[in-house]
Structure 1
Amino acid sequence: MTRDDMVLTPVGLRFHGRLYPCSIGRGGVTEHKREGDGATPKGAHRIVGMLYRPDRLACPVNWAVPIGPRDLWSDDPAAKDYNRMVRAPYPHSHEVLRRADPLYDLVILTSWNWPDAVAGRGSAIFIHQWRRPGYPTEGCIGLRRADLHAIAPMIRKHTRLIVT
């Protein structure tokens, strides 16, 4: 582990010498992640991208990608685009990235089951804003808005999310 690794601990997310309160999946932490189980997968996951809402906040880092009105994330294991960003109209099961609430205003993408997704192994483990303290996610890591925005510019090419 390095200083640039984010480490999920039982009491929060440790990064750059600080501990940030966070939420995890409603299914807890698992070694056997499956689509829809609500669990956060164990492992060392690379940070592979960042998405943001340009109508709601400034670009957090020069490599972040803006979320457009038609941007979606495929979560259909039967689709050829499973666990990838896609555009509407899209006939398969998906998540809308440009949400009415602020949960996905800033999204840090991990390498979980990506880029070569295994059908049914689970899609999109994001680091995003939480709904409220203690409220579980569908498997992602949820943080306070201010903490998420503070962390984003500190992420480097080699940063990983480590879940034990």
Structure 2
Amino acid sequence: MPLLSFPRLPLGSFALTLALIASSGPALAADAPASQPWRDARQLVLVVTEGWDATDATLQRFELRDGRWQAAAAAAPVSVGRHGSAWGLGLHPAQAQGPQKQEGDGRAPAGVFTLGEAFGYADKADTAMPYRAMQATSYCIDVPDSPLYNRIIDTRTEGEVAAKGSTEPMRLDLHNKGDVRYREGLVIGHNPKATPRAGSCIFAHLWRTPGEPTAGCTAMAAETMDGVLRWLRPDARPVFVLLPRAEYARLAHDWQLPEAVR
């Protein structure tokens, strides 16, 4: 979700930390707890921030090879919500400690999530993921009381009234003076049951300017997004993981995530 520009915080040495993620970390394979809904994932997009209030982060892709997570690309800088991150609703168990994602809080949802369809301004994209070309009539509904909450709709089929109150036109270029942010993107599967006021319309999308925080999405350079889109395969059951570094260190073993080497 795009919003105003805020200053970048320094990444410090954390980019180097993620660049050294070990290929010997535990795998999401047969030894993963049966209760983990993401135990069959063979691709993982990992975003780690410096803390709950950090707006800068690092993104790295991993794939399961020979039963272990191995880096599929170098780490790249991304930005998250203008107020940082908070626990979202996804595949992971509920977490009592830490902020909880709410509609309009300016925080990116933390946890483990499915990756849904790709979308963009073009008629097609270089990706194996399901792709939806956005139209001037495409909106994501961020109105908590709407029966279409947290869904992308087309007013040509749903009617103009369905988008009443929505602040998320999906053709930002047409509605916001050529805005490029939704030129390429991916739906992050936060709040799949559309729990009212738990947060909506969470995407991975392009930066408008490098390092600009968002209203709750994860934003990145075009080359980073292009690499993610080309790499993703639906049959690999890809997941998106966003965590502050302290929570990542606490949960990496139990959640069978790649383990960072310090």
TM-score by length of 1: 0.91
Select between 84-93 and 124-133 the one with higher mean Cα deviation: 84-93
Give 1:145 shift.
1.1
1:69-127 per-residue CA deviation (whole Å, 9 max, x = no partner) reads 2111000001000000122322232400011111001110011012x200000002100
Q: 1:93 to 1:69 in 2, by over 3 A?
A: closer
Match of 1:118 in 2: 195
2:43 is the counterpart of 1:4: yes
Aligned pair partner of 1:61 in 88, 107, 127: 127
Give 1:12 shift.
0.5
Contact 1:130 1:142 (C-alpha < 8 Å) held by counterparts? yes
- Structure 1, unmatched stretches of 5+, are none
2:223 is the counterpart of 1:146: yes
- The structure carrying a bigger helix percent of its residues is 2
- Structure 2, unmatched stretches of 5+, are 1-27, 29-40, 50-56, 62-71, 88-99, 174-178, 244-262
Q: Distance in 1 between matches of 2:164 and 2:131?
A: 27
Contact 1:52 1:106 (C-alpha < 8 Å) held by counterparts? yes
Match of 1:23 in 2: 79
Match of 1:48 in 2: 116
Q: Distance in 1 between matches of 2:224 and 2:153?
A: 28
Give 1:17 shift.
3.3
Match of 2:140 in 1: 73
SS in 2 for 1:42: strand
1:14 counterpart letter in structure 2: Q
Match of 2:187 in 1: 109
Aligned pair partner of 2:168 in 87, 95, 98: 95
Give 1:36 shift.
0.3
Q: Distance in 2 between matches of 1:14 and 1:159?
A: 13
Match of 1:162 in 2: 241
Q: Distance in 2 between matches of 1:17 and 1:54?
A: 26
Q: Distance in 1 between matches of 2:139 and 2:126?
A: 20
Number of residue pairs aligned between Structure 1 and Structure 2: 161
SS in 2 for 1:17: coil
Q: Distance in 2 between matches of 1:139 and 1:14?
A: 19
Q: Distance in 1 between matches of 2:113 and 2:142?
A: 19
* Higher RCO, Cα 8 Å, sep 6+: 1
TM-score by length of 2: 0.58
RMSD of the TM alignment (CA)? 1.6
Contact 1:3 1:17 (C-alpha < 8 Å) held by counterparts? no
Q: Distance in 1 between matches of 2:215 and 2:114?
A: 19
1:92 counterpart letter in structure 2: G
Structure with max Cα Rg: 2
1:6-33 per-residue CA deviation (whole Å, 9 max, x = no partner) reads 1112351011232111010011111200
Percent identity reads 25
Give 1:37 shift.
0.3
SS in 2 for 1:112: coil
Give 1:3 shift.
6.2
